Structure 1
Amino acid sequence: MRFLSIQSHVAYGHVGNSAAVFPLQRLGHEVWPVLTVNFSNHTGYGAWGGPLIPADDVRAVVSGIEDRGVLGTADGVLSGYLGGEEIVDVVVDAVARVKAANPQATYTCDPVMGNATSGCFVAPTIPPLIRERVLPHADIITPNQFELGYMTHTEPDSLESTLESADRARELGPRTVLVTSVLRPEREAQPDGGETIEMLAVDDDGAWLVATPRLPIKANGSGDVTSAIFTAHYRESGSARTALERTAASVYELLQVTIDSGERELRLVQAQEAFVGPGREFTATQVR
């Protein structure tokens, strides 16, 4: 498959396209990375060098690809952090161009807004833009539980309420929702509840939940990897359950390799076998 991926780029470390491109390539897919920033490192370090790329320049790259006559061969579009209205317009326009050339293509939006620990860390203008301008064009979204609630004006804190929030999100446009890092009190109260973390996939065919051991790491870029490889597996298999299981296994192994290395940044290259043949399997349970 071929993916147009409109995301940030860093020279050191792995976030945005620097996290999404290699796993997709390792899975055998072609990726056309379009950069929205070109930074030395992710902003979690507190200091970085390099430019934001003007929206007109980002649009020009997409137009240049279109001029090659290949947009019709793209199977999907990916986007991550959206820094402002102008970039939102570029992404929405790119999605429209790809789908006009190939109506079977899909658009995956990772609606980066924040998390339960830090709260919303994007500008206040971004969530309404994503909700009102981006989600109607998305086929797949990959929010964490906090972002899901923020988009749908809900407070998902149980399996039932998370499913309800996912359904509300699906009413906004996307048919498939992958909820990462699902936390719920009823699970936490169980003897092994604090030792696992869950992901939930919902589409027209049902809903599936998978649990993996909770690892002592918060790795920048892991969400970008998750969104990319879930999309690839989902498009390839046509099964949310299969995509969820494969994604959980790969991301778990990637994080474990990163922990074992003692490094702060994801060990994408060292863990590359995790994308094609992870050493551990996880079974998803149908919950609806």
Structure 2
Amino acid sequence: MKILSIQSAVAYGHVGNSAAVFPLQRIGVEVLPVYTVNFSNHTGYGAWRGPLISPDDVREVIRGIEDRGVFGEIDVVLSGYQGGEGIGDVILDAVARVKAANPSAVYACDPVMGNARSGCFVAPAIPILLRERVVPAADIITPNQFELGFLTGTEPDSIESTLASVDAVRATGPRTVLVTSVERPDAEEGTIEMLVVDDTGAWIVQTPRLPMKANGSGDVTAALFTAHYRRTGDAADALARTTSSVFDLLQTTLDSGSRELKLVESQEAYAHPRMQFTVRQVR
């Protein structure tokens, strides 16, 4: 499997491609990383150095890959944090070119905007761009519950309302939706859930909620789920494998006391997930 991954990159720590590439490689995926920013560290520190990469420069890198004649071998285009406003057009152009070369290729979009605790942390034009142009072109999307609400103009806060919001966003284009953080008042205390819906059904998985904030964990989740799902076509299995791997990554990080993901130290969790959580069909 080959994935063209168009995301941010940092030198210190693990977010964007700096979070997604190694876990994908560890499960046997060939990754072609294209950077949208090249920062010293993620912006959660409040200070960072390095450039946003211009849309023209990102486009040139992608065109250079196309010149090598490999677009026909690419199975997935994966995108995450987009940086500047013009990157969306570059990504959509890349998706169209890859699909022209390989009609079986899919586009997986992690519509990064923000979260319920921090609100939006991207440029004001990005959420609108994602909702109106990028998400409708995607085959797979991996929003958190906050992002799902923005995409659909809803406030999902239960399994039923989250499923209704997923149905609304699926009607705009993407057939497979992974909601990476389902929070609801009636859930068991100290837990959090993930939900996936595709044409064959809907499944949810519950894990303990770990007392930490882990920048980059969503990027790992989107990457692993996309790869597993593309490989097998089984949404429930992809959800179970991804949940197992990401939980153990987070537990290892928490136990270490590190602010940054222990990405390398957790590599066995990607290659050989323990499958310790039960996936339940809800529709």
Question: Counterparts of 1:92 and 1:268 in 2: how far apart (Å)?
Answer: 29
Alignment of 1:94-173 (within 5 A): 94-173=94-173
Alignment of 1:192-207 (within 5 A): 193-207=188-202
Residue identity opposite 1:146 in structure 2: F
Counterpart in 2 of 1:228?
223
Residue identity opposite 1:134 in structure 2: V
Alignment of 1:202-281 (within 5 A): 202-281=197-276
Question: What is the CA-CA distance between 1:61 and the residue it aligns to?
Answer: 0.5
DSSP-derived class of the 2:186 partner? helix
Residue identity opposite 1:113 in structure 2: M
Question: What is the CA-CA distance between 1:279 and the residue it aligns to?
Answer: 3.4
Question: Counterparts of 2:190 and 2:38 in 1: how far apart (Å)?
Answer: 37
CA deviation map 1:66-123 (0-9, x unaligned): 0000001000001001233310110000111110100111111101111111122222
Question: Counterparts of 1:41 and 1:119 in 2: how far apart (Å)?
Answer: 20
Residue identity opposite 1:35 in structure 2: Y
Question: Counterparts of 2:231 and 2:275 in 1: how far apart (Å)?
Answer: 21
Gaps of 5+ in 1: 188-192
Residue identity opposite 2:39 in structure 1: F
Question: Counterparts of 2:38 and 2:114 in 1: how far apart (Å)?
Answer: 21
Counterpart in 2 of 1:190?
none
Could you tell me the TM-score, scaled by structure 1's length? Answer: 0.97
Counterpart in 1 of 2:69?
69
Deviates more, 1:13-22 or 1:210-219: 210-219
Residue identity opposite 1:147 in structure 2: E
Question: Counterparts of 1:85 and 1:15 in 2: how far apart (Å)?
Answer: 19
Residue identity opposite 2:151 in structure 1: M
After the TM superposition, which parts of structure 1 deviate over 3 Å for at least 4 consecutive aligned residues? Answer: none
Question: Counterparts of 1:247 and 1:132 in 2: how far apart (Å)?
Answer: 28
Gaps of 5+ in 2: none
Question: Counterparts of 1:40 and 1:83 in 2: how far apart (Å)?
Answer: 14
Question: What is the CA-CA distance between 1:5 and the residue it aligns to?
Answer: 0.3
DSSP-derived class of the 1:194 partner? coil
DSSP-derived class of the 1:5 partner? strand
Question: Counterparts of 1:84 and 1:138 in 2: how far apart (Å)?
Answer: 19
CA deviation map 1:111-143 (0-9, x unaligned): 111111112222221111001110121000000
CA RMSD of aligned residues (A): 0.9
Aligned residues: 283
Question: Counterparts of 2:252 and 2:41 in 1: how far apart (Å)?
Answer: 21
Question: Counterparts of 1:8 and 1:84 in 2: how far apart (Å)?
Answer: 11
Counterpart in 2 of 1:13?
13
Residue identity opposite 2:109 in structure 1: C
DSSP-derived class of the 2:189 partner? helix
Could you tell me the TM-score, scaled by structure 2's length? Answer: 0.98
Question: Counterparts of 1:18 and 1:214 in 2: how far apart (Å)?
Answer: 24
DSSP-derived class of the 1:78 partner? strand
DSSP-derived class of the 2:197 partner? strand
Counterpart in 2 of 1:30?
30
